[in-house]
């Protein structure tokens, strides 16, 4: 007889149902306190206290304790379990020769209880593996098998003799010894038995009842069960030892056969949390008594000999260290567990801790490893943590680590629906519009947004327009300055219709048709006092009218009274104040304020300060560029100022970068600027770009810059002057352009 596996455990349970997963060989259940109800293969068997129940380990069992008056319901229900897997006469699995399930009598049950006591004691549970030199467990295993055969009604003398040819024994030995050989073939098995392949297959069908290939897979899966229950090797190592191609293949075959993943099986057959080592530590931890929990962990680590329990105690110790303010020590412990039983939990906690400390690249690395090692249930939790961390990075606008996180999703769970909407939002914010179309193709509204931001509005409407409200079409026409198309749509939004009339220069008509929305028309006509009288203080154009009238004190009052106007007001009052303001809105305005200060320094003749400030301005080569908030005016002026202050080659490098990487950035407007400045397109092509907002005046500016760099000062000066005459310094983006043009006019004169 060869004992392949012997394990003992003792459980404490309440009256809820517990499910025992399949295990190799035979399982014996012995209630110590309470009436145990076992449901197995659609049968219900009631096992009284003190009686042993013998059943096959290959079947799943649902256990519960019955509430009956004769037992003390205040006391804890307990039962013992023995698992044994043995081969008789080198060929016969023990469970194949028994009539089970079966109940022992009280004498037999008492003998089994005595054998359990010999194997199991307070310090540790017994796990006997194949080939163990430990004499006592092997003797006890023989006695157990004798009792099991007696209980199940098959006399020992009825066991068959091994076949004379002993082919089956030879085959099993060959399969066992070469189990890690992934390339073991039917031809190799036949050759080992000195048979032709055809003869061997015929013999195998008669003696194995199945194909040799399937029989080998069965042996591999049963061996993997034993190794998982022993808890010494990682799942990856077990998959290698049992001859599976990889972890993914092993997970698939194991789940298909046993209806449970290897990781879940290991958790279910591992030492229960209620053991003497873990229970005190967990109780203290749940009550937030971290010092006591850490002490209980240390005591358990000194006593426990089971790897799974040791790993869980170390993991819990790391949690205690983190809770008491020692994150570095906690991280060291968790990192030591990354190849053990608690690799998933340790990796998740490590990722959380590293992310909190701002080490985003390391956090992403652990998250990726967790996903690749996790089972299906755990992978859902990894995706949830991914979404939590990505949302944080998105809200705090950190594009560099976001790229690493987006790469994790793209390579591991690109088709996950739960994370797709967040992914689309992040990609849109970062200007990665083409990736939205690839990764979020099942989200038509997000694809519509991607195409319209690429400047492909007509294509967006053609492909996804039916999924988007037509009022959004009109809003986008308005944002792009396509005024005729706005007016061609039903007049359901007076604000957009009025804005279109103003864009077309039809100011009086705008004031007549949309009197409540025409403040910009009053500003364009220079009717500042009428604007102040007719519109509320919260209107942004009210602020600009005050500036035009020189009413600076009133502007300061509005900035203090209405936070939504504060940053725009400071751009005219004191842009340096924005640099020291910690608000979210100030963060958005910071690149604009830095550029305006640079231009103010140039107009004041302080070129050195201007150059220093320019080095801090946001440019197209900035690693933290955020498409949603990046100003095309700032990016353009940074590029042009680098040409004037640092050298033409620096400007050329930026223009080349725009032409190669910014084709669809912000509806292509920046690309068209660079293309005209490098003489790649004509004026006619420039005027046909998708972004038509104030296109005539914008061309005057770009044409002036082209003449300026082309050493045509008179033409440049004329175009700059025309731009100033046709453009007011409102809003602050126009203020920056005014300051730039004023500086260039001084230089040219």
What whole-number distance in Å separates Cα of residue 47 and Cα of residue 55? Answer: 12
CATH number at residue 72: 2.60.120.280
Three-class secondary structure of residue 188 per DSSP: helix
Q: Which residue in 439, 411, 413 sits closest to 425, CA to CA?
A: 439
- pLDDT interval class at 599 (50, 70, 90): very high
**Most confident stretch, 182-186, 267-271, 309-313, 314-318:** 314-318
Report the pLDDT value the prediction gives residue 585, as an integer from 0 to 100: 86
Residue 287 lies in a domain: no
- pLDDT score, position 231: 66
Give CA–CA dist 212/183, Å, rounded.
14
The Cα–Cα gap between 679 and 197 comes to: 76
430 pLDDT exceeds 50? yes
Q: Is the pLDDT of residue 160 over 50?
A: no
The model's pLDDT over 543-578, given as tens digits with 9 standing for 90+, comes to 999 999 999 999 999 999 999 999 999 999 999 999
Look up residue 540 and give its two tokens: 């942004």
- Which tokens in the block code for residue 709? 């760099």
**Span 533-542, average pLDDT:** 95
The answer to whether the CB of 240 falls within 8 A of the CB of 180 is: yes
Average pLDDT rounded to a whole number, residues 631-657 = 95
Question: What local confidence, expressed as pLDDT, does residue 164 receive?
Answer: 42
Which residues are CB-neighbours of 364 under 8 A, at least 6 positions away? 351, 401, 404, 405, 408
Q: Tokens in use for 247?
A: 């972890």
pLDDT digits (tens, 9 = 90+) for 437-474: 999 999 999 999 999 999 999 999 999 999 998 889 99
**What are the residues whose beta carbons fall under 8 Å from the beta carbon of 441, sequence distance 6 or more?**
447
Dump the DSSP string for 555-602: HHHHHHH-HHHHHHHHHHH-THHHHT--SHHHHHHHHHHHHHHHHHHH
The pLDDT > 70 percentage for the chain reads 92
What percent of the chain is predicted at pLDDT more than 90?
49
What pTM, to 2 d.p., does this model score? Answer: 0.64
- DSSP three-state, residue 116: helix
Query: How would DSSP label each residue in 355-387?
Result: HHTT-HHHHHHHHHHHHHH--HHHHHHHHHHHH
Distance separating alpha carbons of residues 671 and 680, to the nearest angstrom: 11
- Name which of 364, 310, 359, 354 is nearest 330 in CA terms: 354
The tokens describing 301, both together, are 């680590």
Q: Which residues contact 626 (CB under 8 A, 6 or more apart)?
A: 397, 399, 429, 430
The rounded mean pLDDT for the chain is: 86
Angstrom distances, CA of residue 197 to CA of 188, 191, 373, 515: 9, 8, 39, 94
* Banded pLDDT at 680 (limits 50, 70, 90): very high
Question: Do the domain assignments include residue 592?
Answer: yes
Q: Which of 158, 180, 212 is at the close of a domain?
A: 158
Q: How far is CA 104 from the centre of its chain?
A: 52
Residue 612 — very low, low, confident or very high, per pLDDT cuts 50/70/90? Answer: very high
Q: Which domain does 58 fall in, by range?
A: 2-158
Residue 308, CA distances (Å) to 10, 145, 282, 303 in order: 16, 28, 15, 13
**276 three-state secondary structure:** coil
In a domain, 679, yes or no: yes
Pick the more confident residue, 21 or 384. Answer: 384
Residue 616 CB neighbours (<10 A): 14
How many Å separate Cα 452 from the centre of its chain? Answer: 28
Q: What is the SS3 assignment for 681-701?
A: CCHHHHHCCCCCCCHHHHHHH
Q: Where is 87: in which H helix or E strand?
A: strand 77-88
As a whole number of angstroms, the distance between CA 702 and CA 707 comes to: 9
Give the residue from 630, 622, 620 showing the smallest Cα distance to 658.
620
Listed residues 142, 158, 174: the one ending a domain: 158
The number of helix segments (H) and strand segments (E) in the chain equals: 40, 11
Residue 245 lies in a domain: no
Give the lowest-confidence range in 7-16, 188-197, 407-416: 7-16
pLDDT at residue 155, rounded to an integer: 47
Rounded to whole angstroms, the Cα distance separating 232 from 665 reads 54
Angstrom distance (rounded) from CA 289 to CA 291:
6
H/E run at residue 124: none
- Examine residue 125 and state whether it is found in any structural domain, yes or no: yes
631-641 mean pLDDT: 96
- Cα-Cα-Cα-Cα torsion 574, 717, 723, 705, nearest 10 degrees, comes to -80
Looking at residue 137, its pLDDT comes to: 64
Tokens 């990764």 belong to which residue? 439
Q: Is residue 228 part of a domain?
A: no
Q: In 10 A of CB 320, how many CB atoms?
A: 25
The band of 122, judged by pLDDT with boundaries at 50, 70 and 90, is very low
Q: Judging by beta carbons within 10 Å of its beta carbon (0-12, 13-18, 19+), is residue 385 exposed, middle or buried? A: middle
Per the CB < 8 A criterion, the answer to whether 101 and 43 are in contact is yes
Judge whether 601 lies within some domain. Answer: yes
Q: Look at residues 123, 142, 158 and tell me which one is the last residue of a structural domain.
A: 158
Q: At what angle do helices 584-603 and 563-573 cross, to 10 degrees?
A: 10
Tell me if 443 sits within 8 A of 430, measured CB to CB: no
Q: What is the pLDDT of residues 293-338, one digit of tens each?
A: 999 999 888 877 667 778 888 999 999 998 888 999 999 999 898 8
Whole-angstrom distance, CA of residue 533 vs CA of residue 544: 14
Cα–Cα distance between 332 and 166 in angstroms, integer?
54
The total number of structural domains that make up the chain:
2
In the predicted structure, residue 477 carries a pLDDT above the cut 90: yes
Tell me, what DSSP letter sits at residue 178? T
Tokens representing 126?
Answer: 């017994």
Tell me what the mean pLDDT of segment 135-161 comes to. Answer: 66
* Strand (E) or helix (H) holding 680: none
**340-377, pLDDT tens digit by residue?**
777 888 899 999 999 998 999 999 999 999 998 887 77
Q: Which of 69-83, 274-288, 291-305, 310-324 has the lowest mean pLDDT?
A: 69-83
Cis peptide before 400 (omega within 30 of 0): no
567 occurs within a structural domain: no
């Amino acid at each position: 007889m060869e004992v392949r596996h012997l394990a003992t455990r003792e459980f404490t349970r309440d009256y809820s149902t517990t499910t025992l997963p399949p295990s190799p060989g035979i399982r014996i259940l012995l209630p110590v306190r309470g009436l145990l109800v076992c449901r197995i293969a659609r049968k219900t068997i009631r096992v009284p206290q003190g009686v042993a129940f013998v059943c096959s380990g290959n079947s799943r069992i649902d256990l519960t304790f019955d509430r009956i008056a004769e037992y003390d319901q205040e006391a804890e229900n307990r039962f013992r379990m023995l698992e044994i897997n043995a081969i008789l006469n080198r060929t016969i699995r023990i469970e194949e020769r028994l009539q089970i399930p079966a109940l022992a009598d009280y004498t037999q049950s008492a003998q089994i209880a005595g054998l359990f006591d010999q194997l199991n004691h307070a310090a540790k549970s017994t796990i006997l593996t194949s080939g163990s030199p430990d004499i006592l467990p092997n003797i006890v295993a023989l006695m157990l098998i004798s009792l099991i055969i007696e209980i199940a009604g098959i006399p020992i003398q009825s066991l068959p003799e091994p076949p004379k040819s002993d082919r089956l024994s030879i085959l099993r030995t060959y399969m066992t010894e070469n189990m890690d050989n992934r390339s073991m073939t039917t031809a190799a098995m036949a050759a080992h038995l000195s048979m032709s392949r055809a003869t061997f297959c015929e013999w195998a069908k008669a003696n194995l009842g199945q194909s040799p290939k399937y029989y080998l897979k069965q042996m591999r899966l049963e061996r993997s069960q034993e190794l998982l229950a022993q808890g010494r090797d990682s799942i990856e190592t077990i998959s290698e030892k049992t001859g599976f191609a990889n972890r993914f293949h092993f997970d698939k075959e194991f789940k298909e056969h046993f209806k449970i993943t290897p990781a879940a099986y290991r958790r279910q057959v591992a030492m229960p949390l209620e053991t003497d080592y873990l229970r005190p530590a967990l109780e203290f931890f749940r009550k937030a008594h971290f010092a006591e929990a850490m002490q209980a962990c240390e005591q358990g680590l000194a006593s426990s000999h089971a790897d799974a329990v040791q790993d869980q105690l170390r993991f819990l110790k790391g949690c205690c260290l983190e809770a008491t303010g020692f994150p570095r020590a906690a991280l060291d412990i968790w990192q030591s567990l990354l190849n053990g039983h608690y690799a998933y939990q340790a990796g998740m906690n490590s990722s959380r801790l590293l992310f909190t400390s701002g080490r985003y690249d390391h956090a992403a690395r652990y998250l990726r490893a967790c996903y690749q090692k996790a089972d299906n249930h755990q992978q859902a939790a990894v995706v949830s943590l991914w979404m939590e961390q990505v949302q944080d990075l998105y809200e705090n606008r950190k594009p560099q680590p976001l790229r690493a996180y987006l790469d994790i999703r793209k390579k591991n769970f690109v088709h996950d629906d739960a994370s797709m909407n967040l992914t689309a939002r992040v990609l849109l914010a970062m200007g990665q519009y083409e990736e939205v179309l690839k990764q979020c193709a099942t989200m038509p509204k997000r694809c519509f947004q991607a195409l319209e931001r690429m400047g492909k509005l007509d294509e967006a409407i053609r492909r996804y327009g039916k999924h988007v409200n037509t009022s959004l079409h009109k809003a986008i026409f308005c944002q792009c300055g396509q005024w005729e198309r706005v007016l061609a749509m039903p007049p359901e939004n007076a604000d957009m219709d009025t804005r279109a009339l103003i864009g077309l220069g039809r100011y009086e008509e705008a004031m007549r048709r949309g009197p409540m929305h025409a403040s910009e028309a009053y500003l364009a006509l220079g009717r500042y006092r009428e604007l102040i009288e007719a519109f509320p203080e919260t209107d942004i154009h009210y602020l600009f009218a005050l500036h035009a009238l020189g009413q600076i004190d009133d502007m300061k009052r509005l900035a203090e009274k209405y936070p939504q106007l504060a940053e725009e007001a400071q751009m005219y009052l004191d842009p340096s104040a924005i640099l020291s303001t910690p608000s979210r809105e100030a963060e958005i305005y910071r690149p604009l304020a830095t550029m305006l200060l640079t231009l103010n320094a140039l107009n004041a003749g302080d070129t050195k300060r201007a150059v220093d400030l320019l080095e801090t301005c946001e440019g197209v080569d900035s690693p933290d560029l955020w498409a949603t908030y990046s100003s095309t005016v700032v990016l353009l002026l940074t590029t042009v100022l680098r040409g004037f202050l640092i050298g033409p080659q620096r400007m050329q490098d930026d223009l080349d970068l725009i032409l190669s990487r910014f084709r669809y950035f912000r509806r292509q407007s920046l690309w068209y600027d660079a293309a005209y400045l490098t003489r790649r397109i004509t004026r006619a092509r420039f005027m046909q770009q998708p972004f038509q907002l104030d296109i005539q005046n914008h061309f005057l500016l770009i044409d002036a810059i082209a003449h300026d760099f082309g050493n045509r000062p008179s033409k440049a000066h004329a175009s700059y002057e025309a731009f100033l005459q046709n453009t007011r310094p409102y809003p602050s983006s126009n203020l920056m352009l005014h300051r730039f043009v004023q500086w260039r006019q001084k230089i040219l004169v």
